[in-house]
Amino acid sequence: MSFSLFRSPLTGLLLLPVLATGAARADTVWMKNGDRLSGTIRSLSDGKLVMDSSYGGTLSLDWGAVSTLSSEKAIDLRSGDTVFKAQLEAADRGYIVVRRGDDEQRVQVAKFDEFMKPKPKTDALTWTGNIDVGVSLKKASTHTQDSHFAYNNKVNVGKWRNDFGGTYTREKEDDSMNTENYSLRYALDYKFQDRLFWQGRASYKRDWVEDLSEQALLGTGPGYQFWDDELGSFSLALLGGAFTYGYSDGSYDSHLGASLRWDYQRFLEGRKIALFSHGDAGHSLDGNIFTLDAEVGLRYQLTSWSSLNVSYGHNLVSGTRDTLNERNFTTGLGLKW
């Protein structure tokens, strides 16, 4: 449900309020049971209000239990590409006052569907990342040992973004090794506009079981950041470069080509669940090689630092001497920082 906040030219807009950050005083939420909570409001989505507090960490509150709230700084109200500032102020039970300059409107709490605070623009270094580990042991007529390890890091400084990580997968049945490989990747982005960036990327994969034993990609090209906020992020990059493939007999071949890289994440249920997908699809200029290296999955947040993960990965290389078509389903525990 949406609400009309101001008269023309804003009548009929579907609004996504975004709470401003950096307030010296705390945001305040009044609950219907009489409780009053102070902290920093992060977002409202899927009926959950997410709030950081000094006494309880990150809280996920049922929006239906909220009576009113107040944000100490002006917020950015969004409708499509339109952004304008307003203030959320506490009102009587079941209402919030939305103020923009001399204009104000008293709006029912139930009319709000989604809002969030913007990510602050800063030149300070920020570092986020996660580690996922999955292990499966089975002893029956055969003895199987499966393990999967993945790590991801993002280090941002001003307009520069560093994204690097790696994986290791091993599947053994009795004395037979069915799968054993690792991969490494590194990407460097430079944001020359708010949404536009230039990316350089390098990746390498080593396999000890398949005939196609090595895959390497080196590319560079433009990218576009569709969104990056409290509820998730999505970007695409089109890279031109070279593919190199190595085989178990020591031979190599290389091809010039292009690849499309995507990186998607969306938080659901008050940030308890994260849906993610990342990967790239490439094609050589001579038309012989097609590659796909993609992963899609879910993370369920157990605590502020741990999660339960389920993911599906697909690695396809066709047109080389040996076609590779790997599918992996993994589940395990994760840590984040």
Instruction: Calculate the average pLDDT of the chain.
Output: 86
pLDDT in tens, 76-113: 765 556 666 777 899 999 999 888 888 888 989 988 88
Q: Token pair for residue 76? A: 């950015």
Strand partners, 162: 155, 188
Peptide bond into 9 cis (omega under 30): yes
User: Tokens 């089109």 correspond to what residue?
Assistant: 238
pLDDT(18) > 80: no
Q: Is 290 a residue whose pLDDT tops 90?
A: yes
The three-class DSSP label of residue 19 is coil
| Segment 122-181, tens digit of pLDDT | 788 999 999 999 887 767 677 888 899 999 999 999 999 999 999 999 998 888 888 999
Residue type, 205: K
> Is 22 a residue whose pLDDT tops 70?
no
pLDDT at residue 335 is higher than 90: yes
Domains and CATH numbers, the chain: 16-116 (no CATH), 126-336 (2.40.160.40)
Residue carrying the six token digits 């109200």: 77
State the DSSP code for 15: -
The Cα–Cα gap between 41 and 27 comes to 6
The letter for the amino acid at 233 is: S
pTM (2 d.p.): 0.82
Residue type, 21: T
Helix, strand, or coil here: 326?
Answer: strand
Residue 322 has pLDDT above 90, yes or no: no
How far is C-alpha 152 from the chain's CA centre?
Answer: 11
**What's residue 100's pLDDT?**
83
In Å, how far are 22, 42, 218 from 270, measured between CA atoms?
21, 10, 38
Confidence of residue 286 (pLDDT cuts 50, 70, 90): confident
CA 131 – CA 151 distance, rounded (Å): 4
3: pLDDT strictly greater than 70: no
Average pLDDT over residues 5-24: 37
**53 - beta bridge partners?**
57
Three-state secondary structure call for residue 175: coil
Give me the amino acid identity at 214. E
- Looking at residue 80, its pLDDT comes to 54
Reported as a single tens digit per residue, the pLDDT across 168-220 is: 999 988 888 889 999 999 999 999 988 999 999 999 999 999 999 999 999 99
Contacts of 7 (CB under 8 A, 6+ apart): none
Report the C-alpha gap between 203 and 291 in whole angstroms: 13
Q: Residue 173 contacts by C-beta under 8 Å, 6 or more apart in sequence?
A: 142, 143, 144
Q: What is the pLDDT of residue 279?
A: 95
Query: What are 254's two structure tokens?
Result: 């290389």
Give the CA count within 13 Å in the CB-facing half-sphere of 162.
12
